[in-house]
Structure 1
Amino acid sequence: MELDTALPIVKSKEKSERRRSSIFSLLKIQKKLTRQFSEPGHFAAKRNNRKYSVDSAILSDYGKANGGTKDYLLEGNGLSMSVTELAGAASDSDSDASRSGMPDGQKVMAITRKQEILARIDSSYIEDTNRETGAAGELVEEVAEENKSLLWFLLKQARPGMDLSKVVLPTFILEPRSFLDKLSDNYYHADILGQAKYIEDPYLRFKCVLRWYLSGLYRKPKGLKKPYNPVLGEVFRCFWMNRENDSRTYYVAEQVSHHPPVSAFYVSNRKDGYVIEGSLLARSKFYGTSTSAILEGCARVHLLQWDETYITTAPYAHCKGIVMGTLSMELGGKVHIMCVETGYQAEVEFKLRSFLGSADQTNAISGRIKKGKETIATVEGYWDGKIDIRDKRNGEESNLLDVAVLKEQRMARYLVRLDCQHEYESQRLWAKVSDAIQNNDQVAATEEKTVVEEAQRARARNLVATWVPRYFHKDFHLQPPEGLIEQGWRYNHVNISPWQPDEELEYEDSFVISTLRALESRSPVESRTRDPVRESRASDSDSRDEHARPKTTTRTLKKTLYSIESTLREHTNAIEKLSRAVESLSEGHRQAVAFRPQNVGRIPTTSHSWDLFGGFVLAIVLQALLNWLFYQKD
Structure 2
Amino acid sequence: MIEKKSNSAMDLETEIIPTKMKHKTERRRSSIFSLLQKKLKRQASEPGYFEPKKLNRKYSVDSAILSDYGKTNGVYKEFLLETCSDGVSVCNGELAGAASDSDSEASRGMNPPREDVSARKQDVIARIESCYVEDPDRDTGAQGELVEEVAEENKSLLWFLLKQVRPGMDLSKVVLPTFILEPRSFLDKLSDNYYHADILSQAQHQEDPYLRFKSVLRWYLSGLYRKPKGLKKPYNPVLGETFRCCWRHRDTDSRTYYLAEQVSHHPPVSAFYVSNRKEGYVIEGSLLARSKFYGNSTSAILEGCARVHLLPWGETYVTTAPYAHCKGIVIGTLSMELGGKVHVVCPDTGYHADVEFKLRSFLGGSDQTNAISGRIKKGKDTIATIEGYWDGKIDIKDKRTGEESNLLDVAILKEQRMTRYLMKIDSQHEYESQRLWIKVSEAIANDDQVAATEQKTIIEEAQRSRARNLAAPWEPRLFHKELHVQPPDGIIDQGWRYNHVNTSPWATDEQLEFEEDFVISSVRGSGHARAPDRPDARGLSNRASDSDSRDELAKRSSKTTRTLKQTLFSIDTALRDHTHAIERLQKTVETLNEGQHRVSAMRPQNMGRLPTTNHTWDLLGGFVLAIVLQALLNWLFYHKD
- The residue that corresponds to 1:415 in the other structure is 422
* C-alpha separation in 1, matches of 2:201 and 2:109: 30
Relative to 1, partners in 2 of residues 1:289 and 1:207: Cα closer, same or farther, differing over 3 Å?
same
Check whether the contact 1:238–1:251 (CA below 8 A) recurs between aligned residues. Answer: yes
**Deviation string, structure 1 residues 495-541 (Cα, Å, up to 9, x no partner):** 000011100000000110001110189xxxxxxxxxxxxxxxxxxxx
Structure 2 counterpart of 1:626? none
- Determine helix, strand or coil for the equivalent of 2:340: strand
> Are 1:395 and 2:402 an aligned pair?
yes
Instruction: Tell me the distance in 2 between the aligned counterparts of 1:202 and 1:102.
Output: 45
Report how far residue 324 of structure 1 moved: 2.0
State the alpha-carbon separation in 2 of the partners of residues 381 and 214 from structure 1. 11
Give, in whole Å, the separation in 2 of the partners of 1:564 and 1:493.
11
Check if 1:201 corresponds to 2:196.
Answer: no
| Structure 1 counterpart of 2:473 | 466
Q: 1:520 to 1:105 in 2, by over 3 A?
A: closer
Structure 2 unaligned regions, length at least 5: 1-106, 541-641
The counterpart of 2:296, out of the listed 289, 298, 313, is 289
What residue ranges of structure 1 are gaps of 5+ in the alignment? Answer: 1-99, 522-552, 566-634
TM value normalised by structure 1? 0.67
Match of 1:222 among 218, 225, 229: 229
The answer as to 2:330 corresponding to 1:326 is: no
Matches within 5 A, 1:261-272: 261-272=268-279
The structure 2 residue matched to 1:156, chosen from 134, 158, 163, is: 163
CA contact (8 A) 2:187 2:237 kept: yes
d(CA) in 2 for partners of 1:321, 1:105: 66
Cα displacement (A) at 1:112:
1.7
Corresponding residue of 1:257: 264
CA drift at 1:564: 12
Q: In 2 relative to 1, CA 435–373 (structure 1 residues): closer, same or farther, beyond 3 Å?
A: same
Pairing of 1:615-626 with structure 2 (within 5 A):
none
Are the aligned partners of 1:102 and 1:520 in contact in 2 as well (CA < 8 Å)? no
Q: How far has the Cα of 1:451 moved from its partner?
A: 0.5
- 1:482 is displaced (CA, Å) by 1.3
Distance 2:370 2:108 in 1: 57
Alpha-carbon offset, residue 108 of structure 1: 2.9
Partners of 1:119 and 1:459 lie apart in 2 by 37
Cα gap change, 1:558/1:208 in structure 2, threshold over 3 Å: closer, same or farther?
closer
Aligned to 1:488: 495
Whether 2:220 is the aligned partner of 1:213: answer: yes
In the alignment, what sits opposite 1:311?
318
CA contact (8 A) 1:159 1:286 kept: yes
Q: Which amino acid aligns with 2:537?
A: Y
Paired residue type of 2:231: L
Q: Which residue of 2 aligns with 1:183?
A: 190
Q: Which residue of 1 aligns with 2:611?
A: none
Corresponding residue for residue 356 of structure 1: 363
CA deviations on 1:558-599 (whole Å, 9 max, x unpaired) are: 48x43999xxxxxxxxxxxxxxxxxxxxxxxxxxxxxxxxxx
Over the matched positions of the two proteins, sequence identity in percent amounts to 77
Q: How many residues align?
A: 433
Q: Which amino acid in 2 is paired with 1:172?
A: F
Tell me if structure 2 keeps the 8 A contact 1:179–1:227. yes
What is the Cα deviation at residue 478 of structure 1?
A: 1.5
Determine the structure 1 residue equivalent to 2:537.
562
C-alpha displacement of 1:106: 2.2
Q: Give the aligned residue type for 1:321.
A: G
| Shift in CA distance, 377/433, structure 1 to aligned 2, threshold 3 Å | same
Distance 2:538 2:468 in 1: 23
- 1:378 maps to 385
Tell me by how many angstroms 1:101 deviates: 11
Whole-Å Cα distance in 1 between the matches of residues 136 and 111 of structure 2? 42
Q: Is the 8 A contact 1:293 1:318 kept in 2?
A: yes
Find the counterpart in structure 2 of residue 245 from structure 1.
252
Where 1:165 maps in the other structure, the secondary structure is: coil
Q: 1:451 aligns with which of 458, 469, 481?
A: 458
8 Å contact 2:480–2:497 — kept in the other structure? yes
Partner-residue secondary structure (3-state), 1:365: strand
Shift of 1:104: 9.2
- Alignment CA distance shift 1:108-1:173 (3 Å): same
User: Are 1:254 and 1:264, in contact at CA under 8 Å, matched by a contact in 2?
Assistant: yes
Distance (whole Å) between structure 2 residues aligned to residue 420 and residue 359 of structure 1: 46
Q: For the Cα contact (< 8 Å) 1:125–1:416, is it kept in 2?
A: yes
Query: 2:136 maps to what in 1?
Result: 129
| Matching residue of 1:478 | 485
CA distance in 2, matches of 1:320, 1:101: 70
Deviation at 1:432, TM superposition (A): 0.1
CA distance in 1, matches of 2:366, 2:445: 31
Amino acid at match of 1:442: Q
Whether the 8 Å CA contact 2:112–2:527 is kept in 1: the answer is no
Does structure 1 residue 344 correspond to structure 2 residue 319? Answer: no
Q: Give the counterpart letter for 1:225 in structure 2.
A: K
Identify if the C-alpha distance between structure 1 residues 102 and 356 changes in structure 2 by more than 3 Å, giving closer, same or farther: farther
Give 1:103 shift. Answer: 8.7
- Report the Cα distance in structure 2 between the residues aligned to 1:471 and 1:314, rounded to whole angstroms: 23
Which amino acid is 1:188 matched to? Y
Q: TM-score, normalised by structure 2?
A: 0.66
Structure-2 residue corresponding to 1:118: 125
Q: Aligned partners of 1:274 and 1:564: how far apart in 2?
A: 20
Work out the CA distance in 2 between the residues paired with 1:481 and 1:563: 20
User: Which amino acid letter does the alignment assign opposite residue 119 of structure 2?
Assistant: T
Aligned mates of 2:465, 2:341 — CA distance in 1: 39
Compared with structure 1, are the counterparts of its residues 104 and 286 closer, same or farther at alpha carbon in structure 2 (3 Å cutoff)? closer
d(CA) in 2 for partners of 1:209, 1:379: 14
Aligned partner of 2:345: which letter? M
Secondary structure of the residue aligned to 1:298 is strand
Map of 1:79-94 to 2, 5 A cutoff? none
Partner residue in 2 for 1:630: none
Letter in 1 for 2:404: E
8 Å Cα contact 1:347-1:369 kept in structure 2:
yes
C-alpha displacement at 1:365, in angstroms? 0.1
Report the AA paired with residue 504 of structure 1. Q
**Aligned residue for 1:140?**
147
SS in 1 for 2:191: helix
Other structure's SS at 1:410 match: coil
Cα distance, 1:105 vs structure 2: 4.3
Q: Structure 2: how far apart are the matches of 1:447 and 1:353?
A: 37
**Equivalent residue for 2:634?**
none
Aligned Cα root-mean-square deviation (Å):
2.0
Q: Is the contact between residue 325 and residue 336 of structure 2 (CA under 8 Å) also seen in structure 1?
A: yes
- What SS does the corresponding residue of 2:199 show, helix, strand or coil? helix
For the structure 1 residues 438 and 475, does the alpha-carbon distance in structure 2 shift closer, same or farther, using more than 3 Å as the test?
Answer: same
Q: CA–CA distance in 1 between the matches of 2:116 and 2:233?
A: 48
Q: How far did 1:196 drift?
A: 1.1
* Secondary structure of 1:166 counterpart: coil
- Assess if the C-alpha contact under 8 Å between 2:521 and 2:531 holds in 1: no
Runs of 4 or more consecutive aligned structure 1 residues displaced over 3 Å after TM superposition: 100-105, 561-565
Q: Note the C-alpha offset of 1:109.
A: 2.0
CA distance in 1, matches of 2:214, 2:200: 10
Are the counterparts in 2 of residues 143 and 326 from structure 1 also a CA contact under 8 Å? Answer: no
Partners of 1:193 and 1:209 within 8 A in 2: yes
1:512: which partner in 2?
A: 519
Distance 2:539 2:423 in 1: 34
The residue type paired with residue 506 of structure 1 is: E
Query: Are the aligned partners of 2:117 and 2:527 in contact in 1 as well (CA < 8 Å)?
Result: no
Give me the whole-angstrom Cα distance separating, in 2, the residues matched to 1:324 and 1:349.
27
Alpha-carbon contact 2:482-2:538 (below 8 Å) kept: no
SS at match of 2:221: helix
